[in-house]
Structure 1
Amino acid sequence: MTPLRLAYLALAVWGAIHPMSYFIGWFMENGWSLGAMIDAWYVNKATSGLVWDLTIAAIALTLWIVAEVYVRKNWIGLIAIPATFCIGVSCGLPLYLFLRTAPIK
């Protein structure tokens, strides 16, 4: 595995674990309500702007993944879409780059 692929994989793992530690911490303090967490994301204009920034980035990444998977027929790349929306762009983007840079068979 190339150093670049290892870097993408490390970023995907970090992008899954680090943000999730904050989410789980929030749930432990405030209860396991997804609705309450979403409400917390819109507590002020700064957090609302960040949510929209990440949402737009996630949609753009999804469009790119779908377009490339359609052309390249690299179906495993589709795994990055649920990773993006269930974990975050910080996991989905490096995961897709890791999958995309795999040697062509």
Structure 2
Amino acid sequence: MAPLRLIWLALAIWGAIHPMSYFLQWFNENSYDLMAMVDAWHVNAATSGLVWDLTIAAVALTIWILVETISTKRWLNLIAILATFGIGVSCGLPLYLYLRSKPAKQSV
């Protein structure tokens, strides 16, 4: 595996584990109420700005993934959209870069 692919994979794993540890800690302290977490994200202008920054980045990433997946027909790459909205851009983006950097099959 190419070194850059290993970097993308490592970042995807880190981007899944590190943010999720904070989410789970928050849920354990504040109940498993998703709407309460959304309210916490908008506690002040700084956090609201971060939420919107990441939301716009997630939408842009999703459009990019959809356009490339339709043209390349690498349907497995769509899993990066689930990772983006289920975990975050910190996981979805490097996961997609890992998946898209896989060499295409050579026709013989």
What is the TM-score normalised by the length of structure 1?
0.99
Aligned match of 1:101: 101
Work out the CA distance in 1 between the residues paired with 2:97 and 2:69. 12
Work out the CA distance in 2 between the residues paired with 1:70 and 1:27. 37
Work out the CA distance in 2 between the residues paired with 1:38 and 1:17. 20
**Matched positions, count:** 105
Work out the CA distance in 2 between the residues paired with 1:93 and 1:45. 25
Superposed, 1:16-95 pairs within 5 Å as 16-95=16-95
Structure 1 runs, 4 residues or longer, greater than 3 Å off = none
| SS of alignment partner, residue 43 of structure 1 | coil
Work out the CA distance in 1 between the residues paired with 2:43 and 2:96. 31
Query: What value does the CA root-mean-square deviation take over the aligned residues?
Result: 0.4
Structure whose CA Rg is larger: 2
Using the aligned pairs only, state the percent identity.
Answer: 70
What is the TM-score normalised by the length of structure 2?
0.96
1:39 maps to amino acid = D
Unaligned residue ranges in structure 1 (runs of 5+) = none
What's the CA shift string for 1:17-68, capped at 9, x where partnerless? 0000000000111111001000000000000000000000000000000000
What's the CA shift string for 1:57-105, capped at 9, x where partnerless? 0000000000000111111110000100010000000000000000101
Work out the CA distance in 2 between the residues paired with 1:69 and 1:32. 34
Unaligned residue ranges in structure 2 (runs of 5+) = none
